[in-house]
C-alpha cells in the first residue's frame, strides 16, 4: 500500500502508470475496508462477539499482571484444595489449591495462542495450495487436488494424534498438528474462488498483456480471495481452539502448561466430576464454548458483509 492516493494518475511522471494504478487500487481497497467495517458494525451479534473477544484477549495478555505466576506455583501456596468458590477465589481451587480463575486466565493464553498460530499455519497452507490448485491446469492441478483430497478425507483428529505422538507433546506440536491437518477445506474454498476470479475478463486482459503466473496470482487472485480467507480464518480459530482442548484433554499436550483442555483433563483424571467439584469442571468448558461462539459470531458477520448473498437471512 502507498499513501499516494491523493494524486491523480495523470499528475505523475513515468513510471507514473505503476504508482497511479496502485494508488487507485489502494484507495479503492481502503474505501472497501471502511465500507466493510461500517457494515460489520451494523451487525449486532458480530460486534458482541468482537467486543467479547477483545476483552478476552486483553485479559489473556494481562494475565501475568493480574495473576502473578507465583500464585500458581503449587509449592508457594497454602490455599485449601478443591475449595468451593469464595471471595478470595471466585471460582474455587483445583486439587493442588491453585485458583481456578487464575488458571483460566493463564489457560486463555495457551488456548488463544494455539488457536491463532494453528490458524495461521492452516490458512497459509490452505491459501497457497488452493490458489495453486485453481490457477494451474493439467498434471499440476491433478496432483495438488489429490493431495488436498487426501487431507480432506483423512480423519484429522487421528492424524493430529499420530503427529503429536511422533513429535512429542508440547504447545508447538499441537500448533503443527492442528495446522497441518485442518487446511484442506480452506484450500478447496480458495480454489473455487480462484476459478471464479480467473474466469473474469480482467484476468484475461492481464494474460493478453503478457502477465506471468506469479503476477496474476499475487496481484489479482490473492486480493480477490483475501476477504473469503479472512472470514474463513475467523471461523477456523474457533475450531482450532476446540482441537487444542481436545488434544490436551487426550493428554497429547504439555501437561505442565495450563490450557483449558489440560484443566479439563486434570479435572477428569482426579475425579472432580464424581467429587462434585463443579467449579473445576464447568469454567474451562464454558470458556471454550463462549470463546468459540464469539469467533463464530465474528466470522459469520464478516462473511455476511463480504458475501452479500448471505445477508438478511
Partner 1 sequence: MYLHAICVFSIISFTTEKSLHMVFQRWSIRSKSLPEPGAGEVRRHRGRTAAAVLGAGAIVVSPLALAVPAQGTASTAPMLKAALIGDIDTLNPFLSVLATGSDILTFQYENLVQFGAENNEIVPGIADSWETSEDGTVWTYTLPGDALWSDGEPLTAEDVAWTYNAIMEIDELKQANGSLVENFVSVEAPDDTTVEITLSEAQAPNPGADIPVVPEHIWGALEDPATFENAADTVGSGPFVITSYDQAAGVQLASNPNYRHGEAKVSGLTYVPYKNTDAAVQALKTGEVDIVSGLTPAQFQALESEPTITVNEGTGRRYTALAVNPGALDSDGKPLGNGNPALQDQVLRQAIARAVDNATLLSKVRQGLGILGTGEVPTTYPLYHWDAAPEELVLSFDPEAANKMLDDAGYTAGPDGIRADKSGNPLSLRLMGRSTDPTHQQMADYIKPWLRDIGIDVTTEMKAPAQVNDDSTVGNYDMYFTGWGMGPDPDFQLSINQCSSRPNADGTGATSESNWCSPEFDELYLAQHTELDQEKRSELVIQAQKEIYNAAVNNVIYYGSALEAYRSDRFTGFVTQPSESGVISSQNGPWGLYSATPVSAIDTASETSPSPAPWIVGGAVVLVLVAGAVVLLRRRAATADDRE
> Using an 8 Å Cβ cutoff, are 45 and 300 in contact?
yes
236 lies in the binding site for partner 1 (CB under 8 A):
yes
**Cα separation, 90 vs 28, whole angstroms:** 50
Among 111, 232, 233, 259, binds partner 1 (CB under 8 A): 232
Kindly state the smallest distance separating residue 210's Cβ from partner 1, in Å.
29
111 or 185, CB closer to partner 1? 185
**Cα separation, 288 vs 271, whole angstroms:** 20
Nearest-10 Cα torsion for 7, 9, 11, 15: 110
Among 189, 221, 225, 229, binds partner 1 (CB under 8 A): 189
142 lies in the binding site for partner 1 (CB under 8 A):
no
Kindly state the smallest distance separating residue 252's Cβ from partner 1, in Å.
8
**Cα separation, 167 vs 164, whole angstroms:** 5
Whether the ω angle into residue 15 lies within 30 degrees of 0, i.e. cis, is yes
| Crossing angle of the two packed helices 100-135 and 138-153, in degrees rounded to 10 | 150
Among 272, 291, 294, 301, binds partner 1 (CB under 8 A): 272
What lies within 8 Å, CB to CB, of 174 at 6+ separation is 114, 118, 160, 164, 244, 247, 248, 252, 253
Kindly state the smallest distance separating residue 290's Cβ from partner 1, in Å.
10
- Judged by CB under 8 A, the chain residues 34 through 53 that form the site for partner 1 are none
The residue ranges that bind partner 1 (CB under 8 A) are 73-76, 81-82, 95-97, 152, 155-158, 161, 165, 168-169, 182, 185-186, 189, 192, 196, 232, 235-236, 238-239, 242-243, 246, 249-251, 255-256, 265-266, 268-277, 281, 285, 289, 292-293, 296, 300, 303, 307, 309-310, 313
Amino acid at each position: 500500500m502507498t499513501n499516494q492516493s491523493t494524486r491523480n494518475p495523470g499528475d505523475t511522471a513515468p513510471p507514473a502508470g505503476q504508482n497511479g494504478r496502485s494508488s487507485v487500487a489502494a484507495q479503492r481497497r481502503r474505501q472497501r475496508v471502511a465500507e466493510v467495517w461500517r457494515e460489520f458494525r451494523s451487525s449486532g451479534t458480530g460486534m458482541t462477539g468482537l467486543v467479547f473477544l477483545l476483552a478476552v484477549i486483553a485479559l489473556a495478555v494481562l494475565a501475568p499482571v493480574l495473576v502473578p505466576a507465583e500464585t500458581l506455583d503449587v509449592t508457594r501456596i497454602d490455599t485449601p484444595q478443591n475449595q468451593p468458590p469464595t471471595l478470595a477465589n471466585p471460582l474455587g481451587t483445583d486439587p493442588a489449591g491453585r485458583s481456578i480463575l487464575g488458571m483460566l486466565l493463564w489457560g486463555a493464553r495457551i488456548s488463544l495462542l494455539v488457536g491463532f498460530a494453528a490458524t495461521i499455519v492452516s490458512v497459509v497452507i490452505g491459501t497457497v495450495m488452493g490458489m495453486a490448485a485453481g490457477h494451474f491446469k493439467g498434471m499440476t492441478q491433478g496432483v495438488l487436488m489429490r493431495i488436498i483430497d487426501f487431507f480432506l478425507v483423512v480423519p484429522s483428529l487421528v492424524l493430529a494424534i499420530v503427529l503429536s505422538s511422533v513429535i512429542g507433546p508440547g504447545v508447538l506440536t499441537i500448533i503443527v498438528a492442528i495446522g497441518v491437518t485442518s487446511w484442506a477445506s480452506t484450500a478447496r474454498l480458495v480454489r473455487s474462488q480462484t476459478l471464479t476470479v480467473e474466469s473474469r475478463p480482467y484476468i484475461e486482459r492481464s494474460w493478453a498483456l503478457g502477465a506471468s503466473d506469479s503476477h496474476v496470482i499475487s496481484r489479482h487472485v490473492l486480493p480477490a480471495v483475501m476477504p473469503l480467507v479472512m472470514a474463513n480464518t475467523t471461523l477456523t480459530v474457533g475450531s482450532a481452539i476446540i482441537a487444542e482442548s481436545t488434544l490436551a484433554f487426550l493428554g497429547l499436550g504439555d501437561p505442565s502448561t495450563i490450557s483449558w483442555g489440560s484443566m479439563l483433563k486434570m479435572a477428569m483424571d482426579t475425579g472432580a466430576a464424581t467429587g462434585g467439584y463443579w467449579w473445576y469442571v464447568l469454567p474451562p468448558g464454558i470458556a471454550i464454548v463462549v470463546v468459540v461462539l464469539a469467533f463464530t459470531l465474528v466470522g459469520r458477520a464478516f462473511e455476511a458483509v463480504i458475501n452479500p448473498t448471505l445477508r438478511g437471512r
